[in-house]
Amino acid sequence: MAQNEKLAELSSAGVAVWLDDLSRDRIRSGNLQSLVDEYSVVGVTTNPTIFAAAISGSDSYDDQLHALAVRKVSVEEALRTITASDVRDACDLLAPVAQRQPGDGRVSLEVAPGLAHDTDATAAEAAHLWWLVDRPNLFIKIPATEAGLPAITTSIARGISVNVTLIFSLERYRAVMDAYLAGLEQRLAEDADADLSGIASVASFFVSRVDTEIDKRLEKAGAEQLKGKAALANAQLAYQAYEEVFSSDRWKALEAKGAHPQRPLWASTGVKNPEYADTLYVSELIAPGTVNTMPEKTMKAYADHGSPGTPVQKTYDDAAATMKAIADAGVDLDDVFRVLEDEGVQKFVDSWDELTESVRTQLEDKA
């Protein structure tokens, strides 16, 4: 099948197209392979909400759930086994992509969200999931909480590739990049001849949720003219920070040892406000060396009628002015980002709890 021209052009501009969804049905039906063949998809991201929807809405898991029930495994072990199975199969499907494009062909699996504020438990869970899936094109998702930062460093130092998730602020994004570089440096400190070329990372900078929260506050402040601008400006300034860090002498020393840059990944790119263009967070975030992980609906909208906006590297001055205007309007940005992180963790915890209860019920039914 021919590649969609609009998405192929997006890829040529340096934006890797990843699908923000996964299910056993997608893999078995050939749907995921068709998205690779026709829509330039070169990666997949998952989260607890995605798995909750996949498992509760399909009978494709019945045989495995029955086998797990007969073995009388715990709910926690069943959850790990089921999600790891899907991710492993998706990694195998995308392995040819990973061979052609080593930074892509990746599938992400998230540590249990309830561990988000426990450094040691997060690092231990990351190591276990890395062992359990056992595929070189796996990413372990670790949240960018304060407790998550040292777990990122530890995981990278152990040679585990990491997708850092739930990044909302520039300050935290800089801390994430530092955690990545520190992990590479720690690996070299432990073994000066260590090969860094097998380690990869992306930093998932969330987009649409920023507009959702800030727009509410702009309405209260009587500054409606600034609505719909914060998310893009925030992400554009994040790319500026990325360019700064990954052109530094500190980075060049690691690059000389075979290290790969930690790519910015635009997450939460499905538009939540129907007043905004449905391709807004794709068209206006085009920059070399980035990833855009999209819901299928957003991906197909861009394939149908998307068009490139202003390249990110030409937006920095306007983006800085926009964020200043929002702050001057009375929006407490530090509070915004704190609320978004807390809500982001809680949403995943709620989804994980829902998934846990669903699996528990099904294990009992199939025992």
28-to-20, 60, 355 alpha-carbon distances in Å:
17, 9, 21
**pLDDT, tens only, 334-352:** 999 999 999 999 999 999 9
Output the six-digit token pair for 67.
Answer: 């086998």
Task: Judge whether residue 329 has pLDDT over 90.
Answer: yes
Domain coordinates of the chain in residue numbers? 5-366
> Residue 260: helix, strand or coil by DSSP?
coil
Q: Rounded mean pLDDT of 207-233?
A: 97
Task: Judge whether residue 367 has pLDDT over 80.
Answer: no
Give the C-alpha separation, 174 to 277, whole Å.
30
Of the residues 6, 72, 141, 314, which is catalytic?
141
Q: Rounded mean pLDDT of 145-149?
A: 97
Q: Rounded mean pLDDT of 6-11?
A: 97
Q: What's the pTM?
A: 0.96
Q: Given phi > 0 = left and psi -120 to 50 = alpha, else beta, which region is 166?
A: left
Tell me if residue 366 is catalytic.
no
- Residue 140: beta bridge partners? 109, 162
Indicate the pLDDT class of residue 358, thresholds 50, 70 and 90: confident
**pLDDT, tens only, 196-212:** 999 999 999 999 999 99
CATH number of 5-366: 3.20.20.70
Indicate the pLDDT class of residue 162, thresholds 50, 70 and 90: very high
